[in-house]
């Protein structure tokens, strides 16, 4: 809800899409930069204080932005958006850090990560329509403020649950120099997330441009929704069949499927129906791939750095999306949607290459903690 509501509200206040883009970018970039820092704070101080303080500050920034009048200086909007992004609580990373602590059998953990990825897709399907719907019946400022309050209330509920409240970082194992990136496997996984993010960012731009070129600009929203539905279905299947890849070879297969399916959009760009069919198939590769990556992040995160490791994965993904959207936008402007889809295929191929080159890191038993990082922290709390 945040990104679309912030973008539209800023445009309405200033009358400029360029300013709205800068405001949205400030939110995304500051969030990407601060996520690993907040993750490291969680690993050192526990979840409760970081989550509650971050949620309070973020909600405050969004509510203030939501009540600003038309004509507000762009600098004020950019500063508030950056503040909101910088303080956004690392809730996703905290959730994934806790997952290893609630399974009785470690073999079920990949399925749990797949379930979490599936649930996450629901937010991508429902969030934008909910924000725009509130904006239509109320105001976009009200929708933005409501999103901030919803985030605050939900984070408070999560942070006060026993599992989150009682979680403590593992202080018994010396921290590696460089934090979670001291693990070569985590670095490889972050690079893979960067590549996947580039695929997704360029795909979103390409879909929007292709719909416009076909005279069906309004179809872009439903097509992107179908993309999310495909990921939801893929996540359900992954959950049902064990959760995805456990070794580098399996992850390479998933990444190859993701690259081919998204790259195939270049063949379907002449028809809205064809795009819909291909984007549904492409979406089905997303959640299984994400679940596999999350499971490997937990497996290879050095003891005491699990939340930071998940935050780095998130930062890499957001950075990749921003880069992919920027490159895809430039290619669309100069050569049309097909060029953006060509970049999607190339970015996917490079991501597969990264996984192939780094596969020995992802299969290296010596790089694996004695127990998953989240489980070590849970044992330390006990």
Q: Which domains does the chain have, with CATH numbers?
A: 2-374 (1.20.1250.20)
pLDDT for position 135: 86
A 10 A CB-CB count for 247 gives: 12
pTM of the model: 0.80
User: Among 127, 149, 156, 129, which Cα is nearest to 66's?
Assistant: 149
Q: Give the mean pLDDT of 184-209.
A: 92
Residue 323 has phi, psi (to 5 degrees) of -65, -45
| pLDDT at residue 174 is higher than 70 | no
**How many angstroms separate the CA atoms of 151 and 156, rounded?**
8
pLDDT digit string, tens, across residues 14-33: 888 778 878 887 888 898 88
pLDDT band at residue 228 under the 50/70/90 scheme: confident
CB 374 within 8 A of CB 97: yes
pLDDT bin (cut points 50, 70, 90) of residue 150 is very high
| pLDDT grade for 13, boundaries at 50, 70 and 90 | very high
pLDDT bracket for residue 367 (50, 70, 90): very low
Residue 382 has pLDDT above 60, yes or no: no
Q: Is the pLDDT of residue 157 over 90?
A: yes
Name the pLDDT band for 178 (thresholds 50, 70, 90).
low
pLDDT at 243: 73
Residues 6+ apart with CB under 8 A from 6: 23, 24, 27, 62, 65, 81, 84, 144
How does DSSP classify residue 176? P
pLDDT (average), residues 71-85: 93
Burial annotation 134-145 (CB, 10 A radius, 16+ → b, else e): bbeeeebbbbbb
Query: How does residue 378 score in pLDDT terms, banded at 50, 70 and 90?
Result: very low
- What digits encode the pLDDT tens for the residues 242-251? 777 888 999 9
Residue 362: name the closest of 306, 313, 309, 292 by CA.
Answer: 292
**Residue 176's pLDDT band (boundaries 50, 70, 90)?**
low
pLDDT of 320 > 60? The answer is yes
pLDDT in tens, 237-274: 888 887 778 889 999 999 999 999 999 999 998 899 99
């Amino acid at each position: 809800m945040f990104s679309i509501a912030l973008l539209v509200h800023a445009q309405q206040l200033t009358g400029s899409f360029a300013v709205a883009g800068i405001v949205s970018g400030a939110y995304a970039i500051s969030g990407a930069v601060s996520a690993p820092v907040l993750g490291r704070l969680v690993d050192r101080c526990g979840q409760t204080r970081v989550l509650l303080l971050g949620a309070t500050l973020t909600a405050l920034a969004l509510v203030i932005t939501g009540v600003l009048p038309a004509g507000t200086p762009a600098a004020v909007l950019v500063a508030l958006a950056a503040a909101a992004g910088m303080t956004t609580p690392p809730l996703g990373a905290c959730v994934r850090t806790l997952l290893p602590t609630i399974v009785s059998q470690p073999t079920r953990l990949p399925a749990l990560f797949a379930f979490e990825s599936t649930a996450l897709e629901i937010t991508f399907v429902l969030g934008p329509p909910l924000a725009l719907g509130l904006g239509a019946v109320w105001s976009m400022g009200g929708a933005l403020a409501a999103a901030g309050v919803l985030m605050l209330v939900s984070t408070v509920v999560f942070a006060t649950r026993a599992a989150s409240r009682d979680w403590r970082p593992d202080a018994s194992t010396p921290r590696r120099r460089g934090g979670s990136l001291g693990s070569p496997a985590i670095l490889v996984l972050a690079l893979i997330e960067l590549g996947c993010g580039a695929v997704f960012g360029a795909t979103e731009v390409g879909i929007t441009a292709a719909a416009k070129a076909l005279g069906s600009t309004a179809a872009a929203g439903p097509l992107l929704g179908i993309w999310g539905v495909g990921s939801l279905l893929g996540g359900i299947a992954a959950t049902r069949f064990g959760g995805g890849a456990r070794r580098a070879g399996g992850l390479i297969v998933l990444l190859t499927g993701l690259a081919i399916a998204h790259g195939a959009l270049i063949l379907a760009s002449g028809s809205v129906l064809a795009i819909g069919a291909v984007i549904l198939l492409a979406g089905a590769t997303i959640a299984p791939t994400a679940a596999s990556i999350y499971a490997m992040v937990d497996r290879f995160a050095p003891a005491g750095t699990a939340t930071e490791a998940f935050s780095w994965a998130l930062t890499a993904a957001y950075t990749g999306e921003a880069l992919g959207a920027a490159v895809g936008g430039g290619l669309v402007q100069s050569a049309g949607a097909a060029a953006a889809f060509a970049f999607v295929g190339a970015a996917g191929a490079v991501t597969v290459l990264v996984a192939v080159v780094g596969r020995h890191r992802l299969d290296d038993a010596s790089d694996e903690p004695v127990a998953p990082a989240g489980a070590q922290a849970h044992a330390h709390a006990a």
